[in-house]
Each structure stands twice: as structure tokens, then as C-alpha cells.
Amino acid sequence: APVENGALLETLKSQVGLFSNKSEHYSAQVRPPGTSRQIPQTIIIGVRKGGTRALLEMLDIHPNIVVAATEVHFFDWDENYVKGIDWYRNLMPFSYGNQITIEKTPGYFTSPQAPGRIHDMNSSIKLPVGLQSVCRCY
């Protein structure tokens, strides 16, 4: 299934081609005119090894979606949370007003602090979660 998933992703990317607004175009330090960094309106919260990277990359193909380049660990790691919401926002890519910003940090799903902190930021935020259908042991 992972191999098929990767092949599907490559096919979708090639089909979307120049019409894709992949976030790498918006992650530069120089702000493109008309863009700003937005706090995510959607956060993929888990689960670890649930295909969260694949989901994020699929969503990133959509021209109205931009995604954070790395797992941010803002709501689950105290040392990041104390840095404040502006620190968090500055890790997001530049986006236009019609675009949705998404980050994914699977650690949020198992963090006791993350739900309350996310709710404090935005009580109506969308929180997609991917689940594994079988137990995977490492």
C-alpha cells in the first residue's frame, strides 16, 4: 500500500503540474506581495505512523492549501509553547487570503496539553486524524 500511495502521489503531482501551488513556493524568507503568514486553520494531529506525511503532501497539491515544512511541536512541547503564538505563526509559509494553512504534528494526539492549548487558540479549528487499521509493532 505505501508503494502504491507513493506512485499515486507522483501521478497526481505530474497531472497538477504548473497549476500546483506547492508550499515550497511560499516558504521563502522574502514575502511575496500580497501574502502573509497565517496561523493554521487546520492541524493534522496524528497518529504517528498513520500516514500523516502522505496526507499532508496530498493536501499540499491543492492550490488553495499551503503547509508547514516541518513538524512544529508547538502545542505538545512546553519549550516551544512558551515562545508564543507569533513564534508559531512565523514557522508557517506565506499564503494568500484565499489559502488555508495546515501543519501536521502527530505528537499532538498523545499530548495531554495539546487539546486545551489548541482549543484556546481556535475553538472551531479542523483537526484531521489518520488512524492505522492494524497494530504495527517496532
Task: Give residues 28-57 in contact with ligand PPS (rule: CB under 6 A).
Answer: 48-54
111 binds ligand PPS (CB under 6 A): no
- Cβ at position 99, least distance to ligand PPS in Å: 23
Confirm or reject binding of residue 17 to ligand PPS (CB under 6 A). Answer: no
Q: Which is nearer to ligand PPS, 25 or 48 (CB)?
A: 48
Across the chain, the runs of DSSP E, i.e. the strands, are: 36-37, 42-44, 65-67, 94-95, 100-104
Report the SS3 class of residue 14: helix
Q: Who contacts 12 (Cβ-Cβ below 8 Å, separation ≥6)? A: 58, 61
Choice between 53 and 83, CB closer to ligand PPS: 53
Helix (H/G/I), strand (E/B), else coil: 66 = strand
Q: What is the binding site for ligand PPS (CB under 6 A)?
A: 1-2, 5, 48-54, 106
